[in-house]
């Protein structure tokens, strides 16, 4: 927490500085800064990138336990600067090792502490990867040549079309205040009612054109508000509604009144049992296929 | 109709069919299980065994006769058991015979071993060698000679020491043959010396003293356990012979034995030295046969049930069991009484010389009986899953007991100060001591306490003495009787007037005991364990620690308790945010009162119901009151770390009924908004509450909390229902329906949480786990609540969990082991499902599994959770997890469950730490986005800052200055209204980011932690068909470019994007 406080304080300082400057100069300075950084950073970043490469080989602290790997690691570190191709290949191997986790649903023990790769498995994976090697090579190459350095996300605080700034703007825009919202709602409801009214009129007009008047039975339940005074006559208790919705139990009496009903019930039950029996057989077959009977 | 003609009596058919069906599945499963665990006595295996035995025989034959052996061979052992006079001349064993479970064809995998009895020759022993551990020493030295010879033989890969039933003074040899047979991996032969007719049984009567060191002056104490230890060897061969006679040629009985062994092995707390073992189970079975409780017409499963019933319920245990029939018993009544006094369980062998169950102690036996009756309950109640509960579920210490305590006694000299072995071994005495301390200290807080010290490691060198046998930790498991009792703050002891008891109480509790005057005027000794509400689960821990430290000479570091090890994941700073719950509920009460009082809206509020998990104690981080979210008044004093975000809590409102509602969905929603705005305005006017709203949500501030109001309109519900009725395929779920389901769920869980107070913490741990492994998108919070609810509603084969760790472990195991593909999980919270409900659920479940035959991927929902309000599992798991996500979830759960189990049994190591349970490996993704931790809305919820040191850094970015999770000091000035506007309600950059990403690129699957993680995992989605793959392969986007765009979209929020694996373009 202390750390955070510090940061907050620092930012405050920075901000106050900036506030002193005029807007124009601020921007200017930013651009300058950016330029400078890109210039200065280039060599430094290259180094960084290389280091990262190294990390690639020894970084997977948990993953690499096989001897073969150590070799690639040594190899990689030695010849990294000389042979780019070899480097690529070793990286690919690395990739293959990681490949164990490629499938999201892999049944293997996941991570934490037992991230030891079985060499057998990796070999298998490697073979799989061979097929897609070329494809990956392409990808890798492109990655290498075109984007030698990590891309830097720019104009963090200016661009309002993306990222945090956008989300904040969206947030503030979505809360224009109760009055505005109320107004919008009113507008919607008025237009909605107009639309309904119009639809009704059109319908009536259509009906009138044909010379017929359609007499409709008015469906729906009784009104719960008195039309004159607007007083609520009967409210629907939520408990009652829930009761109605959840507990529609069939009446128990009368189901087995006649003998034929009884017989039918028995028959249908037998049928149900039979179908269940069949299901059971199927299930057993499935179980047999799945073989889940190992209690250890 | 013709079909039914042959069924003259339908009801008869019905009954028999039912039975057949029930039995059918059982018999199938049982026979499959037996096939799986039993070993095939094939010619190859038999030959392998015979070869190994004969080479052992040859090796022993090579030892020269009359070789003079002295105690020098194993000076340490001889010294530690305290034997004198050990020299003898080596003679060949009188006989070498195969015994044990192999001889009755009941070996059970995975431990495949053959017992080889070596009869010690009489010539090597003197008549009085039963005295003073001479027999034990000679027995060991004799084995040493054999072991030397075996070790020099190249036909054996390994010769190891082990012991008989964890009794250090009775070692046995494990011999691993050099030739391996693929069918039986890890096969070994156990060489067990026997002492047939070496000694006169009368001299080993239980009243006699045979260890003179035990004598105190003139008084000679009897040594019943020592005597039994020798007698066991004397009678071993006879009893094996007896077992053979019973078992050979009776297949069903053998299979029943196998079942019982599997059953016992799954329960490590009764399958132990002071509980059951294979030999004892066989003896009990043969007892039942001898007494005609089991007959030849019974099936294996029936025998199994009869046996368990006998163990659990028979009154005969209190009288002592005899293998012979009633008339043939030749034992005096006084002797019988004496046995009953000395041993909790008495089971005489066929010769009536020895109590075969002499190792079983009180707690072992009562746990055995409890477990047997629990299993019998499983038969009755569990329905379909009974088989899995009984035979397939591992019920170990970690999952069974609520509180596990581990004592590391390595190097502690206290327990053997009076010698390693007298009548009983020092380790067993120490077990008893710890047990009695715990049961006295915990009193009625504990239902049962089990202490087991499996002190002998798998390979040890016994020659050098017994002092090295303390490396393994001692385990104590405590089952709580009830939470009320366990969380009790004051223990009332004896009345002050009862002097004797009071002094005893004082002696036991030391300075913790205080004399108190209680409300009813009573003055009594007592102990007080004051504790805050959210720390009450630690009271028991404190008691255990206090007692053990007071009465045993151990240090605090050597006591490891599991209860609170995961609490770190739920704390907010140093406090559990759950402590704010009371104020939250208070605020809600006030709010609901105010809502009901509102007069100036057309329809009155008729009911108010809380929906957010914080109201039912299942939210991982229930919000703490925010100083800015209170009613108008003074500007509150703001401390420096005032959060700039606030989490809204959903509250559902129902209005009075009215006929004037519009009919279509959109209009209904708009009308609701209008109502809510009016409500908000009214609250603002009459109570000075602040209201803020968007087009969809209306939030009001009160007493430091933000409440989000929702209206349930019943008619909306029925509208949707009709639509579903007409068209099954099209599932429309309107806002109303979602709300309705939420409210049903909420009230159900609320009820459950009232019954089981520990439910909340378990859910919170489970939610934290799911989120911290970035499964937030896969498993909804409500689904987690239901999964945990299942553990409480249907606890069998366990009892209801009473600690968060135990509950959490069972949750992980449920997730990992449940057969999600083929079974629905029915969470019957109010226990009101009848047969037809179940059938309905089952039918619905089968509908979802129809596609399975075509392709195993074609299952939706992959996780079928049926509840009374949602029988078709549409509410929470309809869309996620899908089958692949579920697989991943299961794999993670399994691995976490294993880790958690290990942590209960062993000390933490570098790679196994409690923190690891919530620390997800980032290597399992194709790409990873790291976020700026200090731009998360609640940085204090982040458990561990993520680090990634491999993969390629693709993009990086700085943090935006536009947003800070805490109010900046500059912002704190100004009027309250202004400040309130700065408070962001429900602003979550991560959620916005995820939404943007999902809109932008569909080739990526996102894994994230909605509870405040600072990493997002990405995996490439696999394209649907191969054909399209090829076409797209050429013009597919460059993954690097995709990732850059991903970084761009999270401008100001994303720290870095790392690339680990390229998408697999071809299959």
Report pLDDT digits (tens) over B671-699: 889 899 999 999 888 888 888 888 888 99
Looking at A164-178, B3-17, B615-629, B708-722, which range is the least confident one?
A: B3-17
The pLDDT value given to residue B822: 82
CATH number assigned to the domain with residue range B397-489+529-564, chosen from the 4 options 3.40.50.460, 2.60.40.10, 3.30.70.1560, 3.30.70.3020? 3.30.70.3020
Residue B235 has pLDDT above 60, yes or no: yes
Segment A156-179 mean pLDDT:
83
Kindly identify which residue of chain B lies nearest to residue A111, measuring between CA atoms.
Answer: B921
Segment B1038-1058 mean pLDDT:
86
**CA pseudo-torsion sign B292, B296, B297, B299:** positive
Residue B543 has pLDDT above 60, yes or no: yes
pLDDT category of residue B263 using cuts at 50, 70 and 90: very high
What gap in Å lies between CA B900 and CA B394, rounded to an integer? 14
The pLDDT value given to residue A102: 38
For all residues of chain A together, what is the average pLDDT?
Answer: 58
The pLDDT value given to residue B716: 64
What gap in Å lies between CA B1053 and CA B955, rounded to an integer? 12
Question: Do the Cβ atoms of B893 and A33 come closer than 8 Å?
Answer: no
- Beta carbons within 10 angstroms of residue A97's beta carbon: 24
Task: Pick A276 or B1034 by higher pLDDT.
Answer: A276
pLDDT category of residue A227 using cuts at 50, 70 and 90: low
The pLDDT value given to residue A219: 62
The pLDDT value given to residue B697: 87
Segment B901-906 mean pLDDT:
89
DSSP state of B536: G
Residues B164-192: tens digit of each pLDDT: 888 888 999 999 998 888 888 889 999 99
What gap in Å lies between CA B454 and CA B471, rounded to an integer? 10
CA dihedral of residues A50, A51, A54, A58 (deg, nearest 10): -160
The pLDDT value given to residue B812: 95
Helix or strand holding residue B928 (H, E): strand B927-931
- Chain A contact set for B658 (CB, 8 A): 224-225, 232
Residue A24 has pLDDT above 50, yes or no: no
Looking at A76-85, A159-168, B131-140, B833-842, which range is the least confident one?
A: A76-85
The pLDDT value given to residue A294: 77
The pLDDT value given to residue A4: 44
What gap in Å lies between CA B638 and CA B966, rounded to an integer? 11
Range 168-207 of A in CB contact (< 8 A) with B: 168, 170-171, 174-175, 178, 181-182, 184-186, 188-189, 192
The pLDDT value given to residue A240: 58
**CA pseudo-torsion sign A19, A20, A24, A25:** negative
Kindly identify which residue of chain B lies nearest to residue A99, measuring between CA atoms.
Answer: B1061
List chain B domain ranges.
2-33, 38-215, 397-489+529-564, 577-905, 921-1059
CATH 3.30.460.10 fits B38-215, yes or no: yes
The pLDDT value given to residue B658: 80
What gap in Å lies between CA B529 and CA B490, rounded to an integer? 6
Q: Which residue shows structure tokens 């394209």?
A: B1023
Looking at A247-251, B973-977, B1026-1030, which range is the least confident one?
A: B1026-1030
Residue B145 forms contact with A (CB below 8 Å): no
Range 257-296 of A in CB contact (< 8 A) with B: 263, 266-267, 269-270, 272-274, 276-277, 279-280, 283-284, 286-288, 290-296
**CA pseudo-torsion sign B652, B654, B655, B658:** positive
Distance of alpha carbon B422 from its chain centroid, rounded? Answer: 37
Q: Do B1039 and A52 touch (CB under 8 A)?
A: no
Q: Do A164 and B989 touch (CB under 8 A)?
A: yes
Residue B916 forms contact with A (CB below 8 Å): yes
pLDDT category of residue A41 using cuts at 50, 70 and 90: very low
Q: Do A60 and B923 touch (CB under 8 A)?
A: yes
Residue A42 forms contact with B (CB below 8 Å): no
Chain B: closest CA distance from residue A84 (Å): 16
pLDDT category of residue B307 using cuts at 50, 70 and 90: very high
Kindly identify which residue of chain A lies nearest to residue B10, measuring between CA atoms.
Answer: A266
The pLDDT value given to residue A80: 43
In chain A, % of residues over pLDDT 70: 29
Q: Which of A136, A155, A277 sits opposite B1062 (nearest CB)?
A: A136
Task: Pick A286 or B280 by higher pLDDT.
Answer: B280
Task: Report the DSSP pairing between strands B645-646 and B984-985.
Answer: parallel
Residues B710-732: tens digit of each pLDDT: 998 877 666 555 444 444 434 45
Residue A61 has pLDDT above 70, yes or no: no
List of residues 6+ apart from B581 with CB closer than 8 A: B614, B617, B622
Looking at A36-50, B235-249, B563-577, B636-650, which range is the least confident one?
A: A36-50
Residue A76 has pLDDT above 80, yes or no: no
Residue A38 has pLDDT above 50, yes or no: no
Q: Do B32 and A287 touch (CB under 8 A)?
A: yes
What gap in Å lies between CA B384 and CA B25, rounded to an integer? 9
Angle, alpha carbons B522-B527-B528 (nearest 5°): 100
Chain B: closest CA distance from residue A79 (Å): 19
Residues B735-750: tens digit of each pLDDT: 888 888 999 999 999 9
Q: Which range, B294-298, B434-438, B1050-1054, has the best average confidence (pLDDT)?
A: B434-438
Suggest the residue from A59, A60, A105, A260 to mutate for an interface test with chain B (most B CBs closer than 10 A): A105
Residues B556-583: tens digit of each pLDDT: 888 999 988 898 888 887 788 888 888 9
pLDDT category of residue B1008 using cuts at 50, 70 and 90: very high
Q: Do A156 and B934 touch (CB under 8 A)?
A: no
pTM: 0.82
Where does residue A43 fall: left (phi above 0), alpha (psi -120 to 50 degrees), or beta otherwise? alpha
* Partners of B650 in the β-ladder: B708
Q: Which of B143, B145, B137, B175 is nearest to B64 (CA)?
A: B145
Looking at B328-337, B364-373, B921-930, which range is the least confident one?
A: B328-337
The pLDDT value given to residue B214: 75
For all residues of chain B together, what is the average pLDDT?
Answer: 85
What gap in Å lies between CA A167 and CA B996, rounded to an integer? 10
The pLDDT value given to residue B764: 94
* Partners of B825 in the β-ladder: B865
pLDDT category of residue B1017 using cuts at 50, 70 and 90: very high
Q: Which range, A71-85, A209-223, B605-619, B990-1004, has the best average confidence (pLDDT)?
A: B605-619
List chain A domain ranges.
2-101+114-156, 262-296
The pLDDT value given to residue B713: 85
Q: Which of A131, A170, A286 sits opposite B1066 (nearest CB)?
A: A131
The pLDDT value given to residue B193: 93
Residue A116 forms contact with B (CB below 8 Å): no
Segment B823-839 mean pLDDT:
85
The pLDDT value given to residue B1012: 85
Q: Do B1051 and A280 touch (CB under 8 A)?
A: no
Task: Pick B453 or B1023 by higher pLDDT.
Answer: B453
Residue B256 has pLDDT above 90, yes or no: yes
Residue B1035 has pLDDT above 90, yes or no: no
Residue B995 forms contact with A (CB below 8 Å): no
Chain B: closest CA distance from residue A50 (Å): 11
Residue A14 has pLDDT above 70, yes or no: no
Residue B831 forms contact with A (CB below 8 Å): no
- Beta carbons within 10 angstroms of residue B314's beta carbon: 14
Helix or strand holding residue B20 (H, E): helix B10-37
Residues constituting chain B: 1067
Chain B: closest CA distance from residue A210 (Å): 28
Is the ipTM higher than 0.85? The answer is no
Q: Which range, A260-269, B760-769, B982-991, has the best average confidence (pLDDT)?
A: B760-769
Task: Pick B941 or B458 by higher pLDDT.
Answer: B941
The pLDDT value given to residue A99: 36
Please spell the DSSP secondary structure of B840-867, one letter per residue: HHHHHHHHHTGGGGT-TT--SSSS-EEB
Range 1038-1057 of B in CB contact (< 8 A) with A: 1038-1040, 1044, 1047-1054, 1056
Residue B305 has pLDDT above 90, yes or no: yes
In chain B, % of residues over pLDDT 70: 91
- Chain B contact set for A163 (CB, 8 A): 960, 993, 1048-1054
Question: Do the Cβ atoms of B444 and B481 come closer than 8 Å?
Answer: yes
What gap in Å lies between CA B772 and CA B946, rounded to an integer? 11
Segment B526-540 mean pLDDT:
89
Chain B: closest CA distance from residue A183 (Å): 10
The pLDDT value given to residue B600: 85
Residue B549 has pLDDT above 90, yes or no: yes
The pLDDT value given to residue A58: 38
Residue B931 has pLDDT above 70, yes or no: yes
Residue B158 has pLDDT above 80, yes or no: yes
């Amino acid at each position: 927490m202390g750390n955070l406080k510090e940061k907050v304080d620092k930012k405050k300082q920075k901000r106050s500085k900036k506030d002193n400057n005029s807007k124009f100069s601020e921007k200017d300075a930013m651009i300058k800064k950016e330029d400078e950084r890109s210039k200065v950073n280039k060599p430094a970043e290259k180094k960084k990138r290389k280091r990262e490469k190294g990390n690639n080989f020894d970084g997977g602290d948990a993953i690499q336990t096989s001897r073969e790997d150590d070799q690639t690691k040594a190899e990689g570190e030695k010849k990294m600067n000389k042979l780019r191709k070899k480097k690529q290949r070793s990286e690919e191997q690395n990739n293959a090792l990681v490949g164990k986790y490629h499938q999201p649903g892999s049944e293997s023990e996941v991570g934490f502490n037992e991230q030891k790769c079985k060499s057998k498995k990796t070999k298998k994976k490697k073979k799989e990867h061979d097929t897609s090697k070329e494809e990956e090579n392409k990808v890798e190459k492109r990655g290498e040549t075109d984007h030698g350095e990590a891309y830097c996300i720019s104009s963090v605080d200016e661009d309002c079309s993306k990222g945090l700034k956008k989300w904040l703007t969206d947030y503030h825009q979505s809360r224009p205040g109760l009055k505005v919202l109320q107004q919008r709602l009113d507008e919607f409801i008025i237009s909605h009612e107009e639309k309904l009214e119009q639809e009704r009129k059109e319908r009536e007009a259509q009906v009138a054109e044909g010379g017929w008047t359609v007499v409709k039975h008015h469906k729906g339940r009784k009104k719960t508000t008195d039309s004159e005074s607007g007083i609520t006559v009967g409210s629907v208790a939520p408990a009652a509604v829930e009761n109605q919705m959840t507990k529609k139990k069939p009446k128990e009496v009368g189901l087995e009144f006649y003998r034929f009903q009884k017989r039918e019930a028995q028959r249908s039950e037998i049928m149900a049992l039979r179908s269940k029996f069949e299901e059971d057989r199927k299930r057993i077959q499935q179980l047999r296929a799945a073989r889940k009977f190992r209690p250890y | 109709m013709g079909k039914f003609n042959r069924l003259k009596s339908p009801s008869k058919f019905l009954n028999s069919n039912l039975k057949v069906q029930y039995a059918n599945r059982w018999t199938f499963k049982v026979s499959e299980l037996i096939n799986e665990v039993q070993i095939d006595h094939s010619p190859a295996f038999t030959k392998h065994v015979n070869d190994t035995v004969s080479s052992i025989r040859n090796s022993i034959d090579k030892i020269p006769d009359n070789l003079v052996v002295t105690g020098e061979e194993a000076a340490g052992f001889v010294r530690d058991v305290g034997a004198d006079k050990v020299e003898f001349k080596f003679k060949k064993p009188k006989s070498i015979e195969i015994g044990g479970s192999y001889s009755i064809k009941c070996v059970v995998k995975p431990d495949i071993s053959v017992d080889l009895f070596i009869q010690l020759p009489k010539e090597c022993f003197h008549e009085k060698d039963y005295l003073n551990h001479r027999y034990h020493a000679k027995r060991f030295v004799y084995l040493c000679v054999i072991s030397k010879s075996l070790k020099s033989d190249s036909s054996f890969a390994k010769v190891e020491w082990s012991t008989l039933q964890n009794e250090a003074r009775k070692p046995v040899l494990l011999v691993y043959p050099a030739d391996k047979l693929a069918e039986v991996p890890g096969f070994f032969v156990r060489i067990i010396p026997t002492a047939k007719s070496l000694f006169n049984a009368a001299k080993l009567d239980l009243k006699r003293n045979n260890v003179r060191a035990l004598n105190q002056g003139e008084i000679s104490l009897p040594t019943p356990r020592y005597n039994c230890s020798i007698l066991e060897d004397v009678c071993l061969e006879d009893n094996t012979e007896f077992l053979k006679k019973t078992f050979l040629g009776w297949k069903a009985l053998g299979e029943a034995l196998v079942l019982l062994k599997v059953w016992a092995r799954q329960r490590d707390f009764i399958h132990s030295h002071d509980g059951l073992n294979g030999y004892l189970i066989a003896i009990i079975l043969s007892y039942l046969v001898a007494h005609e409780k089991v007959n030849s017409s019974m099936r294996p499963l029936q025998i199994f049930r009869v046996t368990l019933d006998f163990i659990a319920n028979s009154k005969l245990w209190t009288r002592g069991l005899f293998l012979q029939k009633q008339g043939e018993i030749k034992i005096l009544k006084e002797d019988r009484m004496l046995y009953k006094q000395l041993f909790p369980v008495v089971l005489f062998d066929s010769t009536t010389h020895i109590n075969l169950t002499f190792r079983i102690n009180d707690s072992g036996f009562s746990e055995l009986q409890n477990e047997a009756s629990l299993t019998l309950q499983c038969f009755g109640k569990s329905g379909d899953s009974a088989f899995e509960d009984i035979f397939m579920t591992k019920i170990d210490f970690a999952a069974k007991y609520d509180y596990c305590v581990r004592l590391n006694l390595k190097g502690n000299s206290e327990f053997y100060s009076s010698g390693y072995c007298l009548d009983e071994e020092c380790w067993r005495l120490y077990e008893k001591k710890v047990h009695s301390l715990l049961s006295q200290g915990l009193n009625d807080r504990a239902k049962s306490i089990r202490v087991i010290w499996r002190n002998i490691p798998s390979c040890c060198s016994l020659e050098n003495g017994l002092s090295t046998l303390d490396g393994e930790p001692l385990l104590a498991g405590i089952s709580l009787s009830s939470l009320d009792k366990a969380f009790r703050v004051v223990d009332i002891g004896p009345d002050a007037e009862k002097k004797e008891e009071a002094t005893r109480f004082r002696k036991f509790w030391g300075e913790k005991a205080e004399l108190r005057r209680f409300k009813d005027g009573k003055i009594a000794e007592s102990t007080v364990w004051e504790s805050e509400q959210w720390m009450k689960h630690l009271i028991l821990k404190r008691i255990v620690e206090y007692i053990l430290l007071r009465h045993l000479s151990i240090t605090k570091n050597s006591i490891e308790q599991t209860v609170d090890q995961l609490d770190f994941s739920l704390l907010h700073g140093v406090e559990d945010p759950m402590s704010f719950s009371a104020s939250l509920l208070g605020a809600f009460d006030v709010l609901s009162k105010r809502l009901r009082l509102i007069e100036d809206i057309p329809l009155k509020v008729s009911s108010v119901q809380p929906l957010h998990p914080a109201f039912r104690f299942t939210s991982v981080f229930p919000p703490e009151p925010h100083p800015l979210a209170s009613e108008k008044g003074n500007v509150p004093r703001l401390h420096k770390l005032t959060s700039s975000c606030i989490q809204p809590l959903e509250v559902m409102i129902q209005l009075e009924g009215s006929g004037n509602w519009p009919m279509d969905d959109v209009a209904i929603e708009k009308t609701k908004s209008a109502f809510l705005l009016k409500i908000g305005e009214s609250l603002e006017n009459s109570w000075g509450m602040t209201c803020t709203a968007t087009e969809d949500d209306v939030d009001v501030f009160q007493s430091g909390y933000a409440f989000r109001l929702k209206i349930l309109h019943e008619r909306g519900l029925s509208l949707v229902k009709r639509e579903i009725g007409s068209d099954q395929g099209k599932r429309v779920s309107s806002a109303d329906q979602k709300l309705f389901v939420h409210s049903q769920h909420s009230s159900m869980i609320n009820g459950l949480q009232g019954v089981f107070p520990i439910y909340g913490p378990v859910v919170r741990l489970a939610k934290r786990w799911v989120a911290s492994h970035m499964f937030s998108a896969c498993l909804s919070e409500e689904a987690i609540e239901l999964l945990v609810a299942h553990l409480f509603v249907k606890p069998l084969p366990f009892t209801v969990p009473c600690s968060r760790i135990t509950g959490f472990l069972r949750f992980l195991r449920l997730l990992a082991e449940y057969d999600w593909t083929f079974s629905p999980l029915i969470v019957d919270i109010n226990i009101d499902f009848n047969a037809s409900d179940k059938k309905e659920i089952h039918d619905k479940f089968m509908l979802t599994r129809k596609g399975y035959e075509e392709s195993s991927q074609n299952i939706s929902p992959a996780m079928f959770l049926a509840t009374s309000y949602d029988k078709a599992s549409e509410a929470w798991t309809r869309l996620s997890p899908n089958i692949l996500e579920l697989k991943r979830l299961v794999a993670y759960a399994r691995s976490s469950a294993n880790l958690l189990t290990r942590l209960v049994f062993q000390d933490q190591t570098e790679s196994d730490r409690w923190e690891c349970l919530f620390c997800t490996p980032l290597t399992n993704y194709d790409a990873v986005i790291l976020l700026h931790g200090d731009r998360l809305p609640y940085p204090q919820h982040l458990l561990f800052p993520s680090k990634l040191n491999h993969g390629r850094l693709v993009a990086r970015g700085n943090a935006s200055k536009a947003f800070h999770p805490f109010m900046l000091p500059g912002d704190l000035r100004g009027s309250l209204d202004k400040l309130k506007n700065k408070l962001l309600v429900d602003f979550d950059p991560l959620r916005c980011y995820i939404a943007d990403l999902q809109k932008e690129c569909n080739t990526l699957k996102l894994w994230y932690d909605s509870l405040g993680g600072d990493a997002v995992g990405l995996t490439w989605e696999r394209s649907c068909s191969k054909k399209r793959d090829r076409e797209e392969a050429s013009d597919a986007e460059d993954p690097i470019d995709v990732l850059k765009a991903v970084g761009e979209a999270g401008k100001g929020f994303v720290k870095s994007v790392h690339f680990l694996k390229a998408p697999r373009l071809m299959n």
